[in-house]
Amino acid sequence: MKRANPMLTPKVFHPKKEELSVRRLEISDYDKGFLQLLCQLTLCPSLSKPQFQACFADLATLGDNHYVGVIEDPVSGCILASGSVLIERKFIRGGGKVGHIEDVVVDEAARRIHLGQRIVDHLVHYAKTVGCYKVILDCKPDLRGFYKKCGFVESNIQMALYF
């Protein structure tokens, strides 16, 4: 796991927890290490600013059906944690909605102060607010305990097909 952004390392993490609220992703977060944070999650090749803006604009067309929440360190101005929720409209359940939580990540330097739970709680609350009847996510088995603390129960298995 590499950190590509020298702005973020080395870092002294010191803000108070109560200062670390979740807000919606903004286009200016490109310059606050948002993509570098996602590199801690999986492959995240660099996007140029215009590419990022295009992706941001594409997602913005979904309106309330796609939400990315971030936590910014008020001291350093870096993004410390992030997660997204995609809202799916269905024909089942009376035209019900399901929230798909994706890409939850907390900066290595800011772990053990429950920012992950704060992000997840926020996304769950968001999904409830827009009318979802449930929220689902896929994770590695070793994160089972973390998501149980967030109120989730183990439900099914995930299958994947890579192209």
Question: Which residues are near a second copy by CB under 8 A?
Answer: 34-35, 38, 41-45, 47, 51-52, 54-55, 58-59, 62, 65-66, 68, 86, 88-95, 100, 102-103, 124, 128, 132-141, 144, 147-148, 150-163
Closer CB to a second copy, 66 or 114, in the complex: 66
Q: How far is the CB of 19 from a second copy (least distance, A)?
A: 25
Closer CB to a second copy, 12 or 161, in the complex: 161
Q: How far is the CB of 37 from a second copy (least distance, A)?
A: 10
Task: Kindly report the number of other CB atoms within 10 A of residue 25's CB atom.
Answer: 19
CB 82 within 8 A of CB 40: no
Q: Give the separation between CA 129 and CA 124, rounded to whole angstroms.
A: 9
Q: Which residue has the tokens 């604009």?
A: 57
At 161, the amino acid letter reads L
Closer CB to a second copy, 12 or 159, in the complex: 159
Write phi, then psi, for 13 (nearest 5 degrees). -100, 115
Q: How far is the CB of 84 from a second copy (least distance, A)?
A: 8
Instruction: Please choose, from the candidates 71, 131, 136, 142, the residue with its C-alpha nearest in 3D space to the C-alpha of residue 107.
Output: 71
Closer CB to a second copy, 29 or 73, in the complex: 29
Q: Give the separation between CA 147 and CA 154, rounded to whole angstroms.
A: 9
CB 128 within 8 A of CB 116: no
Q: What tokens appear for 112 in the block?
A: 């053990």
Q: How far is the CB of 100 from a second copy (least distance, A)?
A: 7
Closer CB to a second copy, 10 or 145, in the complex: 145
Q: How far is the CB of 59 from a second copy (least distance, A)?
A: 6
